[in-house]
Amino acid sequence: MELVIIISSLLFAAAACLIARKRAVIESVSVVASLISFVCTAVMAHTVTKTGPFCFHEFFCVDALGTIIMLIISVVGLATTAYSVAYLREETVKGIIGMPQVRRYYVLLNLFLLAMFFAVTSSNPIFTWISIEATTLSTAFLISFYNKPNAIEAAWKYLIINSIGLLLGFFGTLLFFTSMIGVKEPGFATWNTLLSHASHFDPTIAKIAFVFVLIGYGTKVGLAPMHTWLPDAHSKAPVPISALLSGVLLNVAFIAIIRFKVIADASIGEAFSQKLFIIFGLLSILIAALIIFTQKNYKRLLAYSSIENMGIAALGFGMGGLGIFAAILHMIYHSLLKSALFLTAGNVFLKYSSTKIADIRGMISVIPVTGILFLIGLFAITGTPPSGIFFTKLFILTAGIKSHPAVTIVAIFLVALLFVGFLKHAVAMIFGEKPNAVNTGEKGGLLIFAPMALVAIAVFLSFHIPVFLNTLLTQAVAHH
| Residue spans per domain, the chain | 140-479
For residue 437, with 0-12 CB atoms within 10 Å meaning exposed, 13-18 middle and 19 or more buried, which class applies?
Answer: exposed
What is the model's pLDDT at position 187?
Answer: 56
DSSP state letters, 209-243: HHHHHHHHHHHHHT-TTS-TTHHHHHHHS-HHHHH
Residue 62 forms beta bridges with which residues? 54
Q: Walk along the chain (480 residues) and give the pLDDT tens digit of each residue.
A: 788 899 999 999 999 999 988 899 999 999 999 999 999 999 999 989 988 887 777 778 889 999 999 999 999 999 999 999 999 999 998 888 888 899 999 999 999 999 999 999 998 899 999 999 999 988 999 999 988 898 899 999 999 999 999 999 999 999 988 876 655 555 567 888 888 888 888 889 999 999 999 999 999 999 989 988 998 998 889 999 999 999 999 999 999 999 999 999 998 989 999 999 999 999 999 999 989 888 889 999 999 999 999 999 999 999 988 899 999 999 999 999 999 999 999 999 998 888 899 889 989 888 999 999 999 999 999 988 889 999 999 999 998 888 889 999 999 999 999 999 888 888 888 887 888 777 887 887 899 999 999 999 999 999 999 999 999 999 888 876
Would you say 479 and 63 are in contact if contact means Cβ atoms under 8 Å apart? yes
Beta pairing class for 54-57 and 60-62: antiparallel
Residue 266, CA atoms < 13 Å, CB-side half-sphere: 19
End-to-end distance of the chain based on CA atoms, in angstroms? 27
The amino acid sitting at 221 is V
What is the model's pLDDT at position 185?
Answer: 56
CA distances (Å), 325 to each of 36, 319, 320, 394, 411, in order?
Answer: 29, 11, 9, 12, 18
**Residue whose C-alpha is closest to residue 165's, from 120, 128, 220:** 220
For residue 174, with 0-12 CB atoms within 10 Å meaning exposed, 13-18 middle and 19 or more buried, which class applies?
Answer: middle
Residue 60 forms beta bridges with which residues? 57, 122
**Residue whose C-alpha is closest to residue 27's, from 116, 113, 103, 115:** 103
pTM for the model stands at 0.94
CA–CA dist 333, 9 (Å, integer)? 27
**Residue whose C-alpha is closest to residue 73's, from 11, 10, 136, 142:** 10
